[in-house]
Amino acid sequence: MKYRADIDGLRALAVIPVLLYHVGVPGFAGGFVGVDIFFVISGYLICGMIDADIRNGSFSLENFYKRRILRILPALFVMLLVTSVLAYLYCLPVELIDFSKSLASAVGSIANVYFAQTAGYFEGPAETKPLLHTWSLGVEEQFYFIAPLLMLLAYRLVPARAKLLFAVVCALSLVAAIAMTTRNLTFAFYLTPFRAWELALGAMVSVKFFPVLQSTFWKNFCGIAGLMLLFGVILLGSPAVPLLLMTSLASVGAALVIASSESGLSLAGRLLSLPALVAIGLISYSLYLWHWPLIVFQRTDMLFGPEQAGSTKLTLITLSVGIAYLSWKLIELPFRSLARGASRAVVFGAASASMAATFALCGLVFILSGAPSRFPNRVVQIGAYLDYDSSAEFRTGRCFLLTGRQHFDPETCLKADPARPNYLLIGDSHAAHLWSGLAAALPDVNVMQATASLCRPAVLPGSRHDTTTCRDLMELVFNDFLVNNRVDKVLLAASWKDEDLPMLSATLETLKSRGLDVTVLGPIVEYDTALPRLLADEILLDSPSHANARRRPGIRERDLAMNRLVTAQGATYLSVYDAMCRDDRCDEFAEADVPMQFDAGHLTAKGAAEVGRRLAIAFTKPMRVGDVSN
């Protein structure tokens, strides 16, 4: 295909928002759609080249895969090597094992499958996974495996209708994505069948499925409309907007921009051909590879500066661009120049040997159980809680619904006891993690449980986190069980946010009108990363206040506001925050080397038992600072 500078400019328009979004620069809340722009560009370029080669009879699968290997793997393997060294130096055994799994998946072109399978409510946040960004490479590499085979088959069987292949793929994938978005948003985000429509859309432009624009007016109109879509979704969008709406707008915008310059540069094409944009576009692949690991390790305090400092963000951006330029100049360009001269046997052999060595290294990490000898025993013991299994204490899959595929068990979770007072605990995972502690601390009370992930305990829908599972459970609890059964006390608990307070107020009014005795349990102290990791860092960095400094702000203020709201409504308020914190210090260990929480906010079994004991003595009156002692 003929080189188009505007495509490199469009690459810049894809990678810059991704970089700024990940670094945390304000104003780029929709910057993550840069990945979708890359998908459309890849579909356009790759399928366009394959189509042209098939038509002139020069296409070879071996040569195609050789070019892809030389284009993708050298820069990728260098990034993986450096990231692996940093991971070995920093990651605790549990984290190093997880890193090795993601490393093997990235090398095996299935990173998107790995992250789709391991993503979960209690998994570590994205900011702790140095190779998370390789999921998009997995999508593209899987497309590279499938697309040429399908195109060869189409041109052999129905050459006159081969262009329809991409329209069919696009339509089927988009319909599948719409269906999957309502069932499993994680799968819709990561997996190739639900992303293939974006690459197919680019391919449809390259094979001239759509008429090529010839009129200057329509070319400019199309290009400017595409740019407006892209800037609109990047600057005005956010993760709160439905995923498919964001990806659709970005993909259509990218396709319009590309199509506008098919028969000569449009106004948008000329703008994207500016030298500064083209220069960034040329290093966009390496910039994408390097920026995310740098951000992750900077957030671990391993590199430099506090995360929120403007100077740190500027340093990250500058360092990312600098390393990307070196990667492009010293790795990408030399290896791409080998595309004609290097034999296929040498390229495939070197790639296979590199992959085998990586798999062997990952296997060694598993055999050594994450190499715990790198750290003191106490650090290893605390760090083991990063792999904590909370399912038994939460009663996951029965009384706490973590996914839409699980079914609530009313016979277990809502079974009343005529010989004891019956309390009903309602809410999300921050209610579920209290159940075992309250049940143990209140042996004379039957504590029932109705909880689901991200499910605010509200009579009426309204939370942005509402799911079908949540609403069905709340309907069962509030409009069926509590109407037809006597309950001595209703306990409402959640990971409360400021936006939840109006909804809570309306729920309290409804329950009060029904004559129910209601107790609201306030928000718990939370951290910006998993507490066991912070506690390990306290030891490694000899910084006793490290975890305390990483508490999420605003929780104490929300706790006080909720206290005022709840007591004004005539209900009882118990401060979970006060049960754990005093004098601006919060308890970080439940006992010995057992962390109070196993992630950024959820209690371990020992932590739940301790908090439950402290809360239990205050159930007869509203809890105030100092009411509960250690």
Domains and CATH numbers, the chain: 5-301+310-374 (no CATH), 386-616 (3.40.50.1110)
Q: What is the pLDDT of residue 467?
A: 84
Q: Is the pLDDT of residue 583 over 90?
A: no
Q: What is the pLDDT of residue 119?
A: 81
Q: What is the pLDDT of residue 620?
A: 52
Q: How far apart are CA 331 and CA 351, in angstroms?
A: 15
Q: How far apart are CA 574 and CA 492, in angstroms?
A: 10
Look at residues 82, 74, 127, 126 and name the one whose alpha carbon lies nearest to residue 103: 82
> Which is higher by pLDDT, 340 or 279?
279
What pLDDT band is residue 621 in, cutting at 50, 70 and 90?
A: low
CA dihedral 428, 620, 563, 581 (to 10 degrees): -80
Residue ranges in 56-184 assigned as alpha helix (H): 61-90, 93-107, 111-118, 135-157, 164-183
What pLDDT band is residue 183 in, cutting at 50, 70 and 90?
A: confident
Q: What is the pLDDT of residue 266?
A: 96
Q: What is the pLDDT of residue 162?
A: 85
Q: Is the pLDDT of residue 409 over 90?
A: yes
With residue 521 as reference, give the H or E element that holds it.
strand 518-521
Q: Is the pLDDT of residue 473 over 90?
A: yes
Q: What is the pLDDT of residue 622?
A: 44
Q: Over the stretch 507-549, which tens digit does the pLDDT of each residue have?
A: 999 999 999 999 999 999 999 899 999 999 999 989 999 999 9
Q: Over the stretch 414-471, which tens digit does the pLDDT of each residue have?
A: 999 999 999 999 999 999 999 999 999 999 999 999 999 999 999 988 777 788 899 9
**Residue 492 CB contacts under 8 Å (≥ 6 apart), including other chains:** 426, 427, 431, 457, 504, 507, 518, 519, 520, 521
Q: Is the pLDDT of residue 338 over 90?
A: no
- If DSSP codes are grouped into helix, strand and coil, which group holds residue 337? coil
**Rg for the chain, CA atoms, rounded:** 28
Q: How far apart are CA 519 and CA 516, in angstroms?
A: 10
CA dihedral 350, 354, 355, 356 (to 10 degrees): 100
Look at residues 453, 373, 352, 313 and name the one whose alpha carbon lies nearest to residue 65: 352
* Phi then psi dihedrals of residue 207, to 5 deg: -90, 10
Mean pLDDT of the chain: 92
Q: What is the pLDDT of residue 308?
A: 57
- Which pTM does this prediction carry? 0.89
Q: Which amino acid is at 499?
A: E
Task: Kindly state the average pLDDT of the residues 286-293.
Answer: 97
Q: Is the pLDDT of residue 625 over 50?
A: no
**Percent of the chain whose predicted confidence (pLDDT) is above 90:** 84
Q: Is the pLDDT of residue 303 over 70?
A: no
